[in-house]
């Protein structure tokens, strides 16, 4: 059950209004053109209902590559922007799709909805808990559709598994465990250096503190620095966290404790490569556990190993247990743990297209309830990752949390970590 009033506050939705004709294609601007941005463009190019009308990135070379890709694949000539605000102001853009670094998710989304655009924002929804609250409030205030890139919510076999849990296939579900055993090699160390030509480094950092340019703080490795990322629990892990919460029908917990560390490597990474978190519910009657392992590891769980990785979720009930990952799900029942169901995926094992198609459907309907991963859903799942990281950064302390007030009740220093100090002018506002 989503705790909607915790995120919405006093925000009220505007009257629904149609922004385009039923036969018009939806013009999409892709903002953030790195590796995931390439995936966004290629996916929208396959969807008949979409047209890529603009591309945007702080790196001019990335903009030019994106324009070439779209033109080659579709014949269209999208506008190129370096400043996302200019893309948001483009009247020929109906929606924006933004595979940006985590620290940009909130401000970019708020700016976009204020400009009248619908938003597909990648996971995790936010970089901290305060941001998720403001993103949800802004979406409702401006009646914008905001879909979070939690693709599992649109994957057929995972939707079926969650429905079976709801129907009681393994009885009363008392615990879920999310697994993120994803191999991550050391990023090493590199010296700071001059900003590469064509890159707006200040624009990349945005709300984060100004730092000297370092290649390891750019491209994919920004995930492993607290300024810009949330570690693997907020990267790959947020997918499995979302599934664990979804399958149990739970919102935010009343307690969290998370321990771990950055083991084995001597490099520049700040976030842990090994982390364990426990979330308490219903006065200890239900629980979600979560584990991250980036180092070489065995498979001591109930999910199959895929190469060097084990990524998925386990649900435990009074009558059995269920395992689900990208390759399908299995149900085991009774004292002998007999397999009673083994369901393979329908189509691709990991596909963004159904999720983006669902987003475009809501863009037309103007109903945020049509979204499979509305911003409130995504913000709640991201908040789980943030709660775990705050406990970890507080030395593994067990923190008590009040979901109604969105505050910790036993640690003032932890409450300071619900938000951050923003670098002006990139300040995430509190939405009235």
- pLDDT for 22 equals 56
Phi, psi of 124 (to 5 degrees): -65, 155
Q: Which CATH superfamily is domain 4-153+351-373 in?
A: NAD(P)-binding Rossmann-like Domain (3.40.50.720)
Residues of the chain with CATH 3.40.50.720: 4-153+351-373
Question: What's the average pLDDT block by block, 10 residues per block, for the chain (432 residues)?
Answer: 41 40 85 95 97 97 97 97 98 98 98 98 98 98 98 97 98 98 97 96 98 97 98 98 98 98 98 98 95 90 86 97 96 97 86 96 98 98 98 98 98 98 98 88
Sort 120 into a burial class: Cβ within 10 Å, 0-12 / 13-18 / 19+. Answer: buried
SS3 12: coil
Computed on alpha carbons and rounded to an integer, the radius of gyration of the chain in Å comes to: 21
- Are 362 and 143 contacting, i.e. CB atoms less than 8 angstroms apart? no
Q: For the structural domain made of 156-188+204-348+383-416, what CATH number should be given?
A: 3.30.360.10
pLDDT value, residue 154: 97
Cα-Cα-Cα-Cα dihedral sign, residues 246, 250, 256, 257: negative
pLDDT of 8 reads 43
For residue 348, what pLDDT is reported? 72
114 neighbors 89 (Cβ within 8 angstroms): no
What pLDDT, on the 0 to 100 scale, is given for residue 17?
38
CB 228 within 8 A of CB 100: no
Distance CA 359, CA 392 (A): 34
DSSP letter for each residue of 36-93: HHHHHHHHHTT-TTEEEEEEE-SBHHHHHHHHHHHHHHHS---EEESSHHHHHH-TT-
pLDDT for res 12: 35
Instruction: With CA atoms as reference, report the closest residue to 212 among 204, 146, 67.
Output: 204
Instruction: Please tell me the distance from the alpha carbon of residue 45 to that of residue 43, in angstroms, as a whole number.
Output: 5
């Amino acid at each position: 059950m989503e705790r909607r009033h915790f995120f919405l506050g006093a925000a009220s939705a505007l009257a629904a209004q149609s922004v385009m004709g039923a036969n018009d294609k939806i013009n999409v601007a892709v903002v953030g053109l790195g590796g995931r941005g390439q995936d966004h463009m290629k996916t929208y190019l396959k969807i008949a209902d979409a047209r890529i009308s603009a591309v945007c990135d702080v790196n001019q070379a990335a903009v030019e590559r994106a324009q070439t890709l779209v033109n080659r694949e579709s014949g269209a000539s999208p506008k190129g922007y370096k400043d996302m605000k200019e893309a948001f102001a483009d009247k020929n853009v109906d929606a924006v799709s933004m595979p940006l670094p985590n620290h940009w998710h909130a401000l970019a989304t708020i700016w976009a909805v204020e400009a009248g655009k619908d938003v597909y924002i990648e996971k995790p929804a936010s970089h901290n808990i305060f941001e998720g609250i403001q993103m949800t409030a802004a979406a409702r205030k401006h009646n914008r559709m905001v879909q979070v890139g939690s693709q599992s919510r649109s994957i057929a076999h995972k939707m079926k598994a969650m429905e079976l849990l709801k129907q009681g296939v393994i009885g009363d579900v008392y615990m879920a465990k999310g697994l993120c055993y994803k191999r991550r090699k050391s990023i090493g160390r590199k010296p700071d250096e001059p900003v590469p030509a064509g890159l707006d480094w200040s624009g990349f950092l945005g709300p984060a503190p100004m730092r000297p340019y370092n290649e390891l703080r750019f491209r994919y490795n920004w995930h492993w620095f607290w300024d810009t990322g949330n570690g693997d629990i907020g990267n790959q892990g947020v997918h499995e966290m979302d599934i664990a919460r979804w399958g149990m029908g739970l919102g935010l917990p009343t307690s969290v404790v998370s321990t771990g560390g950055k083991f084995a490597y001597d490099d520049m990474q700040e976030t842990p490569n090994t982390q364990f978190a426990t979330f308490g519910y219903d006065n200890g009657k239900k629980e979600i556990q979560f584990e991250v392992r980036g180092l070489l590891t065995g498979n001591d769980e109930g999910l199959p190993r895929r190469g060097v990785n084990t990524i998925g979720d386990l649900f435990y009930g009074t009558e059995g247990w269920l395992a689900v990952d990208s390759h399908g799900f299995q149900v085991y029942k009774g004292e002998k743990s007999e397999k009673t169901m083994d369901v393979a995926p329908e189509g691709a094992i990991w596909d963004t297209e159904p999720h983006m198609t669902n987003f475009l459907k809501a863009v037309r309907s103007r109903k945020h309830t049509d979204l499979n991963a509305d911003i409130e859903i995504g913000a709640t799942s991201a908040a789980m990752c943030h709660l775990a990281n705050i406990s970890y950064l507080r030395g593994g302390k067990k923190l008590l949390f009040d979901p109604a007030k969105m505050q910790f009740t036993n640690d003032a220093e932890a409450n300071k970590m619900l938000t951050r100090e923003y670098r002006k002018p990139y300040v995430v506002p509190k939405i009235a």
